[in-house]
């Protein structure tokens, strides 16, 4: 299965932002135990490249790891060489998209307006991250009216209460940050148990919709 197909099948990208590098392996294991297998490590996190390398080495094909908050082509290249299989950005940068595709990784640029979303797609984005997702599921539905050919992945504002609505509106997946992985909490045994439980709940929501 290709990286793109795995993302589209799994539907959930768990976002790890700002976590202590020493905690990321435990966080990844907890997510994996809960059924979440696609993980984004943001590049503004401590030692992000080292973390991506460690996840790749320790978990192999069990986890699909990508880099987020990638603002330029050079950062995308370093992330891919570290093991990232997909590159997410909060904005549209054509050079980043081009390099990502050249290296065989999946490009997920971020856009908000219809013009930005179409530009990101025409520049080669495989999936377009609608960021921020503060306008909710109705905005996804409205965008897909005139632009039904563009796969949209809302990020920001997605939680257990509204994830069904985002999928029903036509989203191909969702990026989930603090509603799933809260890096401000102490990563102890209780946190790990809660994280695994929460991951299971999100996965269950996806399965409910597909049945």
Question: Which residues are catalytic, by number?
Answer: 40, 129
Report how far residue 139's alpha carbon sits from residue 71's, in angstroms, rounded to the nearest whole number: 25
Angle of helix 73-82 relative to helix 48-59, nearest 10 degrees, comes to 30
Residues 190/5, Cβ–Cβ less than 8 Å: no
Report how far residue 145's alpha carbon sits from residue 206's, in angstroms, rounded to the nearest whole number: 23
> Which helix (H) or strand (E) segment is 12 a member of?
strand 12-16
Report how far residue 4's alpha carbon sits from residue 7's, in angstroms, rounded to the nearest whole number: 5
Residues 49/24, Cβ–Cβ less than 8 Å: no
Collect all residues with Cβ–Cβ distance below 8 Å to 128 and sequence separation of at least 6. Answer: 108, 109, 110, 111, 117, 120, 121, 150, 151, 152, 153
Collect all residues with Cβ–Cβ distance below 8 Å to 82 and sequence separation of at least 6. Answer: 49, 50, 52, 53, 56, 67
Report how far residue 94's alpha carbon sits from residue 200's, in angstroms, rounded to the nearest whole number: 36
Collect all residues with Cβ–Cβ distance below 8 Å to 61 and sequence separation of at least 6. Answer: none
């Amino acid at each position: 299965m290709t990286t793109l197909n795995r993302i589209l099948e799994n539907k959930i990208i768990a976002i790890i932002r700002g976590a202590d590098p020493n905690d990321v392996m435990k966080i990844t294991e907890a997510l994996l135990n809960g059924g979440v297998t696609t993980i984004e490590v943001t590049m503004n996190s401590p030692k992000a490249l080292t973390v991506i390398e460690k996840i790749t080495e320790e978990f192999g094909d069990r986890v699909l790891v990508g880099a987020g908050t990638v603002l330029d082509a050079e950062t995308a290249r370093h992330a891919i060489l570290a093991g990232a299989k997909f590159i997410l950005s909060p904005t549209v940068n054509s050079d980043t998209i081009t390099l990502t595709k050249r290296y065989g990784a999946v490009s997920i640029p971020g856009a908000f307006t219809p013009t930005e979303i179409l530009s990101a797609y025409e520049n080669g984005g495989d999936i377009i991250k609608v960021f921020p997702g503060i306008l909710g599921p109705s905005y996804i539905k409205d965008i897909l009216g005139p632009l039904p050919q563009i796969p949209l992945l809302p990020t920001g504002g997605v939680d257990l209460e509204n994830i069904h609505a985002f999928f029903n509106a036509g989203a191909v997946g969702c990026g989930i940050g603090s509603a799933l992985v809260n890096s401000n909490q102490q990563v102890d045994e209780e946190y790990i148990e809660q994280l695994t439980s929460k991951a299971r709940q999100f996965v269950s929501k996806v399965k409910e919709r597909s049945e």
